Structure 1
């Protein structure tokens, strides 16, 4: 295994970068590498183990059974016919290798490593002599897959995904090298990247990649090698956007005006999240990378504005993004419908990447608040508790057993386009790398996940241990263990927005009833301490001695959430949140229906631990009115009933049925149906 430091090589900048960029610019805050953080957490560790034991093997098996691996074998032989549907199916293998690489650094597995090496050999055999790697063309260059175009790169802007495939290859190669120290995949990736850099750039070919991620991948290779051409080419791809003359700027069609690809204007002039949500958030992650690594202030201003637009006007209450199924894209400002919500799982993965980068740029807790919201809600909802069933889109409402985007409101084992399952595969084992970050003498505790980290602060070795039962309890405990003599540094503990009375770092969502009543309490070795708040962090500056104990008590109350009045679908409704978790009501706990539940203002909820339910949860219960229909009497009334709400991430693990996140606070209207609901018909009622 290589040490984490070997991954962050000295950055030898030059080439087309500015003189200022040649002083080794970087993010002012650096994440503590995942290889230095060992989890011992009851919430996340079982999920990471399920990813290792179930999700990764299932993903590899499905890559085999769906002929994704066969495509590489045929490309190596230069015979056969492309055997899957999409030209980007290659990336499912890359992403699963990435996840397996992270996993092997946590759980060494000789059998898995041997299989990954076999796959890497097949990938290398499919690579053409000049570095080109794209099975959709290489199998039969005279008859490439229909999206690929007759010549290399000619359909890159719209359909081919050649650079998208390359980007995921680079991401996987960097992860594999970081986690294992092996260079077999890295060598393949660098050969391809050298080709890309020789083809694209100033005075050469120019294109705005149709599906972004090559930019992020090139930055990863730049970090590994220190070669400036990779960063320069990433910046070139960003700056290529907004210059294509083939779009109609007056058209409202997102494909025709270029906004679907975020190509309607130069990136430095973009101010709103637009177009395909996954592509966009990969783009914004790359903009943050390039802004940090080159000092591009215009790009920084643009990505800051886009983030503010998304968080203030285009994000669902559980962290989902991408309201419109038509184009898997963002809607207009405040366009957040529930019945037709799309919320692609890949968009949540991309949002985690982006918010981590924004935190590393600015050091403000609001970015981690959003990252946490996505992680605990809209992201892990995408994978079933079994680790091998998935949602591509994440609904906000299921009524009468019907779901807008899928024929059934149930999880699927895989998809013909299976980008989301393999994206989860690669994110989950990398989670330890999101817990802590450093800047000089400052150590940031961002996520509250039990475990230990070993790091160096001011040239002194320090171990920090977290002990908690988060997200079910708000009592946090940090044990500081300097090696040898006491160590002076600042421990910055994030005080989540929800603990400070903010449902969102904007006015898009607010807690009913104003700020929380209970304060955040912090003690050191049992004694209350005064602390300064800076950018959402409690700053504890002291000389730490071995086994000093910091205890933080967060006010974990159940709150009702209200949306901005401009979100039309949520007017007069409330959502439920406890700590970082957003809750929903599901049919299985509520007499088979959830669309008839009312949650009046002032409803008191009781948290109830249910260790045997859904792998262990804290549910919320309250007595509320529900709408009753008496068909015989031809009447409608309300009656009290116990509402049971579960964490949103856990829904759809017990079969099909109704689910809702937003509840009307009072009866304002009644929909009359000409026939019984589908669920009742199926039950013979």
Structure 2
């Protein structure tokens, strides 16, 4: 731990010298937050003990490691499917590095070093590192051009691979202080600086992420060329000649977020993961360079996404053809795509938007995505996954894009390895700071250690969130301290299902959130969604906040035609679904009348511990002849959406009709 603190001190000192401007709000590093929270510590521990080892093992068994070994020997045949398969190793190293920072493990540390050695041997003399070409440059697949970079603007993923390498290398250096991976990344980044830029090669990266990676490299090294190149890549978008009239997104540039310059874009478009990485990169560059046009653009894009293109459980990317955003209000349930990587990207982007603006609405979206459409992507066992996250599974309806059960891995396994790196970083999303302002964004039990005006400050949370709304915070400054404690009052606790009119509560609740300091209720002002408590804090001060945990019926904007006359169920930040296992083998036949009253119960033995909802509802029944339909009374059991498909394959639904308006006949 002393070694890690020294590394962080060196980094922060260098960072202060290297940077002249940055995000106005700074996150508290995940290494400064120790969790005791059952909900998240169990997941992070499963990630450490199950998901990371399984990911490395699958990188070996599927040939991903072998690709690097063959590239080092400059012979053989690329033995996996996609040229971006290299990144599964990079992302797993990144996640393992975060894990090492929280939980030292000599065996894992040595294994990661062995992987880095294999990666380093595959690097070419000038820094190029891309096994799909290096193994046999004369015989490459269709996704690659006969020369470096010539298909980068399409599908070669050469810069995408580099971006994930940079993020993994920075994480490894920060966690261990070792430069073995960082030196590989620097050699590659220097090649990019020599190759691309004004007066050099021009390209808009086909799959964004190199922009985010270059920013991280800049933060560690202080090399301004890396930040300039990140900005250059972003500004290259929208200058390629496409067939503007084509409705095929691959031909008109929309799929690539490349149909117009980024400063002229105002709508979330194209491949959803690429979009999230682009908008995150734009936020980084805007913060570090002061580019106001980037900021204006991503503000407009965010409003479009949250107002017209996001599912009720925080997922994005509705259309399977191209893994992309659809048109405004195009959010089908039966064919919803909702890639797990897109949810992770949504968390990345919303964190950055908060750091830019300091408004709680961005954390509201982050929290909704995190507790619902993101962790649904990994099974409770830590080694089974969803690439897509369905909104509805119905017997008799099958679609090639919709996964009905979890898989151990995928031919394209970007999502499992993305989960690997996201999980251990979650403590870093809890707290943030700007001078005397200390933000509490997520309600996760544990202790955060901060500095306010060079004085130590410790905040300890005790709660049973997300199942219970009773929150307690103990504030322990090193000495008497003036500080503005900013507690996020979630939108869902203020009659706001999402920060737009896309979804709303059917019945408004009128419960003011009560806050007590040392046992006494206090008046507080709400600023940008935060309850601001300003005082001279002393050791042992206690703050209590009680959030209403009523079951809310969520309704959709009338422009979402599929969801008209339907409700979804929400309690706290958690969205619910009905699954076959709890409802007599069916879920698609359930009707929730408007007078249904729900009760809640925590079931510690169910799905690693969940609060379930039950209520008296109606179910459509078809008699044995198949010619007569009726409704019968039944008790609905709803489980958290994230926990579905952990008990086998069967029906599931998030949206429930409130009455029968017509009957749709499905034939197998």
> What TM bracket, shorter-length normalisation?
over 0.9
For residue 401 of structure 1, report the CA deviation from its aligned partner: 6.5
From 508, 513, 517, the equivalent of 2:507 is 513
For residue 509 of structure 1, report the CA deviation from its aligned partner: 0.3
For residue 602 of structure 1, report the CA deviation from its aligned partner: 3.2
Q: How does 1:489-508 map to 2 (within 5 A)?
A: 489-508=483-502
Instruction: Label 1:407 to 1:297 Cα distance change in 2 as closer, same or farther (>3 A).
Output: closer
Find the aligned partners of 1:413 and 1:571 in 2 and give their Cα distance. 36
Which whole-Å deviations, capped at 9, do the CAs of 1:39-74 have from their partners, x for residues lacking one? 100100000000000000000000000010000011
Q: How does 1:235-274 map to 2 (within 5 A)?
A: 235-245=231-241, 247-274=242-269
For residue 107 of structure 1, report the CA deviation from its aligned partner: 1.0
TM-score if structure 2 supplies the norm length? 0.98
Report whether the alignment pairs 1:78 with 2:71: no
Find the aligned partners of 1:55 and 1:401 in 2 and give their Cα distance. 33
* 2:337 and 2:402 in contact (8 A); partners too: no
* 1:402 and 1:408 in contact (8 A); partners too: no
Report whether the alignment pairs 1:640 with 2:636: no
Residue of structure 1 in register with 2:209 after alignment: 213
Residue of structure 1 in register with 2:175 after alignment: 179
Residue of structure 1 in register with 2:11 after alignment: 7
Report whether the alignment pairs 1:34 with 2:27: no
Residue of structure 2 in register with 1:18 after alignment: none
Find the aligned partners of 1:321 and 1:408 in 2 and give their Cα distance. 16
Residue of structure 2 in register with 1:361 after alignment: 356
Find the aligned partners of 1:633 and 1:440 in 2 and give their Cα distance. 68
* 2:396 and 2:667 in contact (8 A); partners too: no
From 333, 347, 351, the equivalent of 2:346 is 351
Report whether the alignment pairs 1:417 with 2:412: yes
Report whether the alignment pairs 1:121 with 2:117: yes
Q: How does 1:195-594 map to 2 (within 5 A)?
A: 195-245=191-241, 247-400=242-395, 402-405=397-400, 409-483=404-478, 485-514=479-508, 516-594=509-587
Residue of structure 2 in register with 1:666 after alignment: 659
Which whole-Å deviations, capped at 9, do the CAs of 1:11-36 have from their partners, x for residues lacking one? 599xxxxxxxx971100000000110
Which whole-Å deviations, capped at 9, do the CAs of 1:231-251 have from their partners, x for residues lacking one? 000000000000012x11111
CA RMSD of aligned residues (A): 1.3
SS in 1 for 2:237: coil
* 2:270 and 2:325 in contact (8 A); partners too: yes
For residue 6 of structure 1, report the CA deviation from its aligned partner: 3.1
SS in 2 for 1:43: helix
* 1:401 and 1:658 in contact (8 A); partners too: no
Residue of structure 2 in register with 1:193 after alignment: 189
Which whole-Å deviations, capped at 9, do the CAs of 1:315-341 have from their partners, x for residues lacking one? 000001000000000000000000000
Report whether the alignment pairs 1:104 with 2:100: yes
Residue of structure 2 in register with 1:24 after alignment: 20
Find the aligned partners of 1:341 and 1:384 in 2 and give their Cα distance. 19
Find the aligned partners of 2:409 and 2:643 in 1 and give their Cα distance. 18
From 609, 612, 624, the equivalent of 1:616 is 609
Find the aligned partners of 2:147 and 2:583 in 1 and give their Cα distance. 57
Find the aligned partners of 1:443 and 1:425 in 2 and give their Cα distance. 29
For residue 145 of structure 1, report the CA deviation from its aligned partner: 3.2
Instruction: Label 1:585 to 1:401 Cα distance change in 2 as closer, same or farther (>3 A).
Output: farther
* 1:11 and 1:227 in contact (8 A); partners too: no
Find the aligned partners of 2:396 and 2:429 in 1 and give their Cα distance. 37
SS in 1 for 2:558: coil
Which of 404-413 and 581-590 deviates more?
Answer: 404-413
Instruction: Label 1:481 to 1:259 Cα distance change in 2 as closer, same or farther (>3 A).
Output: same
SS in 1 for 2:591: coil
Instruction: Label 1:633 to 1:195 Cα distance change in 2 as closer, same or farther (>3 A).
Output: closer
Instruction: Label 1:23 to 1:379 Cα distance change in 2 as closer, same or farther (>3 A).
Output: closer
Which whole-Å deviations, capped at 9, do the CAs of 1:470-510 have from their partners, x for residues lacking one? 00000110001112x21111110000000011000000000
* 1:340 and 1:405 in contact (8 A); partners too: no
SS in 1 for 2:251: coil
For residue 402 of structure 1, report the CA deviation from its aligned partner: 4.8
Aligned length: 664
Q: Which runs of 4+ in 1 moved over 4 A?
A: 9-13
Which of 488-497 and 1-10 deviates more?
Answer: 1-10
Residue of structure 1 in register with 2:129 after alignment: 133
SS in 1 for 2:526: strand
Find the aligned partners of 1:635 and 1:674 in 2 and give their Cα distance. 16
Instruction: Label 1:28 to 1:274 Cα distance change in 2 as closer, same or farther (>3 A).
Output: same
Mind listing any 5+ residue stretches in structure 2 that lack a counterpart?
none
